[in-house]
Amino acid sequence: MSRIPLPKEEELDDTQRKVYNDIKAGKRGAVLDLFMMLMHNAELADRAQRLGVLLRYDTSLETRLSELVVLTTAKHWNSSYEWHFHEEEARTGGLADEIIDAIRVGNVPNFRNSDEAALYAYTREILDNRHASDETYQTALNLIGNAGMVELTCLIGYYSMIAMTLNEHGVPLPEGAVPQLPSPGME
């Protein structure tokens, strides 16, 4: 249940309406409740969605790797909403079901690909320790390069921000969706 109400489409002012229309016409093709929550500050909603488009669709990272990072971040924050919108994207992008299932239940996946293992380790260390070891950093850097490392770190930060927004303001899952993760704060 939302802690603060989601703005209703018919109540948007001109600034909010422009942002709403831009999001709807963009790569997502729809305005998710996440962006409606952010619409309490239209400029924030606009900038957040633009950064999200860049990080989700326009980096050097393959979809399989980006979505691995997003799911790992969603699990860290127990953000069922984030998980809901990225699980199928991860699968479609080529991430194996066994990896998705292991992350969902909190187990370290059995990776067959070194790039997946490296990005998972980096993501976990950043989220769990607020810092990655030199060895973990260097392993990922050797695989994805300088630009990839910057994109990867920003991806983790962005989806952490999104998870906190979703969790703390109680943005509900779409009607009929079943939570795939424990409630935030529960294990």
CB neighbours (10 Å) of residue 187? 6
The model's pTM: 0.94
Q: What is the largest CA-CA distance in the chain?
A: 52
pLDDT of residue 183: 85
Q: What is the pLDDT of residue 187?
A: 61
Angle value at C-alpha 43, between 74 and 2, nearest 5 degrees: 45
Res 107: pLDDT:
97
The Cα–Cα gap between 41 and 57 comes to 24
**pLDDT of the residue at 29:** 86
Would you state the torsion angle of the CA atoms of residues 61, 62, 66, 67, taken in this order, to the nearest 10 degrees?
180
pLDDT the model gives residue 186: 65
Q: Which two tokens stand for residue 29?
A: 């093709």
Work out the burial of residue 83: count CB atoms within 10 Å of its CB; fewer than 13 is exposed, 13-18 middle, 19 or more buried. Answer: buried
Segments in the chain below pLDDT 70: 186-187
